[in-house]
Amino acid sequence: NAVPKLSAKHKSNHLAKRSTGTVLTVGSRGETVKTVQNSLKQQGFYTGSVNGVFDNKTRAAAIKFQKSKGLRADGIIGHRTLAALK
């Protein structure tokens, strides 16, 4: 019984990683960055332009947000931070 549970768990984790494989950091660009910036702005962490460019202001806001949620405050937007932003 342990093997099927392990397989199911592994499969579940694999799917989670595939569906949330986005990692944003300084230099990232695009619509996902805009979404993150907008969410950070709405929650009072970001005061810069919502322009889709992950710059040092976005990173600083991400760190503040991560600290407020008890996440690793590294300024990198991965699946945990994305989930917390929603």
Predicted confidence band at 6 (pLDDT cuts at 50, 70, 90)? very low
pTM of the model: 0.75
In sequence order, the β-bridge partners of residue 77 are 24
Q: Domains of the chain, with CATH numbers? A: 21-85 (1.10.101.10)
Which pLDDT belongs to residue 4? 46
The partner residues of 24 in beta bridges, in order of sequence, read 77
Q: Binning pLDDT at 50, 70 and 90, where does residue 21 land?
A: confident
Q: Would you place residue 53 in the very low, low, confident or very high pLDDT band (cuts 50, 70, 90)?
A: very high
Report, as an integer, the average pLDDT of 43-62: 98
Helices (H), 1-86: 2-19, 31-42, 56-68, 79-85
